[in-house]
C-alpha cells in the first residue's frame, strides 16, 4: 500500500539522532526564546533543494458548499460530489464551507490552542510524548533527530467514535495536564465529535463521486479510531532556511484541517509547490494514503508541507480520520475490473500510520 511509500519518505527526510550520554547537551525547542533568534540552530536548516520557495503560486481548489447536501438536496449533492471527484483525481485537496460545524466551537478550539501553546515550556512538557508513543506534546523532534528539524510544536491525542469512549479526549488531557485543563479537554472532545460527524458526511459524497453505494464508506468509518493534532508554528527570523513541516503524504484516510488566518500550507502539484490560502470559514480536506487504496488508486494522496514566516505564529487543527484497527482496507467491488485490477488489500496499520503522522502534518 502507499503507506509504505510514505514511510520511506519519512525516513529520507529525517535521520535518527545518536544517543548522547550527556543529556544536558540536547537541543531544546523553546518557542518563546527561539522566535527572537536572528541565527537559528543548524539542526533546523534544511538542504538548499528542500528550502521553501518564495511566492508559491496559488493552487486552484474547489470551494464546495455542503449546505445543500446537509439539507438533503439531491441536485446540490450531485454537484458537490462532482467537484470532489475532479479535485481528488487531480491532487486530492478541496475546501468545504457551510459544513455545519458550530462557529463558537471553532472559535473555542482556536482559543484553547492559543492558551495551551502560550503556557511555559515546563508546563507543556507535563504532556510530553514519550519515546515510542504517538500522542502527547512534542517540541519539534529534538530528542529524536539531529537534522532537518521542523519549526513547530504539536499536541496530539486519539479519538474514538465507540459509544463507550465519550470522554476519551477529555480524560486523556486531564490525566496528562491536570484538572485545571479539563475545559480544554471538553472543547477538544466536542471538536473531535464534530470532525467525526463531518468526516462521515464527506465519506458519503466520496462514495457517490466514485459510483459506489452511498453508505459504503460511511459504514466503514462509522466507529472510527482517529487522531487529532494541534499544530503551532512560531515565528522564525530565518524562514527561508527552514520548514514548519517537511514534505509528506498523510498515511490515514482523510484529513480535515482548519487553518487560522496565517498562510503556510503548500501542496506539490505538477512538479511545483503551490499554496492554499487560509479561509477561516472553510475546512481544507485532503485524501490520505488509506483512502487512495480504498478508491483503488483513482483518488490521489498528494505531497504537502508547511512553511513559516518571521512575523506571526501560525496555528492549525488537524483531524485524521482512521478506520478501526482491525478493518481490512480493500476497494469495493464496483471499483475493481479487468481494466482496473485491485491495487491493494491490507489491514490498516495504526502503528505505522501514527509513526508517520508523528513526523508530519500541517
Q: How far apart are CA 242 and CA 135, in angstroms?
A: 24
Q: How far apart are CA 318 and CA 326, in angstroms?
A: 23
Q: Which of 119, 111, 268, 76 is nearest to 184 (CA)?
A: 111
295: Cβ–Cβ under 8 A, 6 or more apart, which residues? 88, 206, 210, 287, 331, 335
Q: How far apart are CA 202 and CA 194, in angstroms?
A: 12
Element at 245 (helix H, strand E): strand 245-248
Identify whether 314 is a catalytic site residue: yes
Grid coordinates belonging to 176: 496528562
Active-site choice (129, 218, 229, 314): 314
Q: How many CB atoms lie within 10 A of CB 204?
A: 19
Catalytic residues: 314
Amino acid at each position: 500500500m502507499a503507506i509504505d511509500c510514505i514511510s520511506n519518505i519519512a525516513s529520507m527526510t529525517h535521520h535518527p539522532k545518536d544517543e548522547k550520554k550527556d543529556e544536558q547537551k540536547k537541543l531544546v525547542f523553546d518557542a518563546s526564546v527561539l522566535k527572537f533568534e536572528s541565527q537559528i540552530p543548524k539542526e533546523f536548516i534544511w538542504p538548499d533543494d528542500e528550502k521553501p520557495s518564495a511566492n508559491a503560486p496559488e493552487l486552484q481548489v474547489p470551494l464546495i458548499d455542503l449546505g445543500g447536501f446537509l439539507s438533503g438536496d439531491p441536485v446540490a449533492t450531485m454537484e458537490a460530489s462532482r467537484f470532489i471527484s475532479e479535485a481528488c483525481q487531480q491532487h486530492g485537496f478541496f475546501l468545504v464551507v457551510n459544513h455545519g460545524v458550530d462557529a463558537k466551537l471553532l472559535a473555542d478550539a482556536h482559543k484553547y490552542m492559543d492558551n495551551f501553546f502560550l503556557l511555559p515550556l515546563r508546563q507543556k512538557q507535563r504532556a510530553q510524548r514519550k519515546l515510542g508513543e504517538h500522542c502527547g506534546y512534542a517540541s519539534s523532534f529534538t530528542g529524536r533527530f539531529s537534522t532537518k528539524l521542523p519549526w513547530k510544536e504539536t499536541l496530539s491525542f486519539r479519538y474514538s467514535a465507540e459509544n463507550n469512549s465519550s470522554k476519551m479526549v477529555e480524560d486523556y488531557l486531564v490525566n496528562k495536564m491536570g484538572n485545571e485543563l479539563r475545559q480544554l479537554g471538553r472543547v477538544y472532545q466536542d471538536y473531535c465529535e464534530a470532525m467525526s460527524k463531518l468526516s462521515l458526511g464527506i465519506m458519503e459524497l466520496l462514495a457517490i463521486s466514485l459510483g459506489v453505494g452511498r453508505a459504503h464508506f460511511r459504514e466503514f468509518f462509522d466507529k472510527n479510531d482517529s487522531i487529532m493534532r494541534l499544530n503551532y508554528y512560531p515565528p522564525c527570523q530565518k524562514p527561508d532556511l527552514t520548514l514548519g513541516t517537511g514534505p509528506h503524504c498523510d498515511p490515514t484516510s482523510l484529513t480535515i484541517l482548519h487553518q487560522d488566518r496565517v498562510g503556510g500550507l503548500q501542496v506539490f502539484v505538477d512538479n511545483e509547490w503551490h499554496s492554499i490560502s487560509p479561509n477561516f470559514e472553510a475546512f481544507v480536506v485532503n485524501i490520505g494514503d488509506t483512502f487512495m487504496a480504498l478508491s483503488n488508486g483513482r483518488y490521489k494522496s498528494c505531497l504537502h508541507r508547511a512553511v513559516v514566516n518571521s512575523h506571526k505564529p501560525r496555528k492549525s487543527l488537524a483531524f485524521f480520520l482512521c478506520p478501526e484497527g482491525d478493518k481490512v482496507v480493500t476497494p469495493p467491488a464496483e471499483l475493481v475490473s479487468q481494466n482496473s485490477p485491485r491495487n491493494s488489500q491490507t489491514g490498516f496499520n495504526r502503528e505505522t500510520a501514527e509513526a508517520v503522522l508523528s513526523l508530519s502534518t500541517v
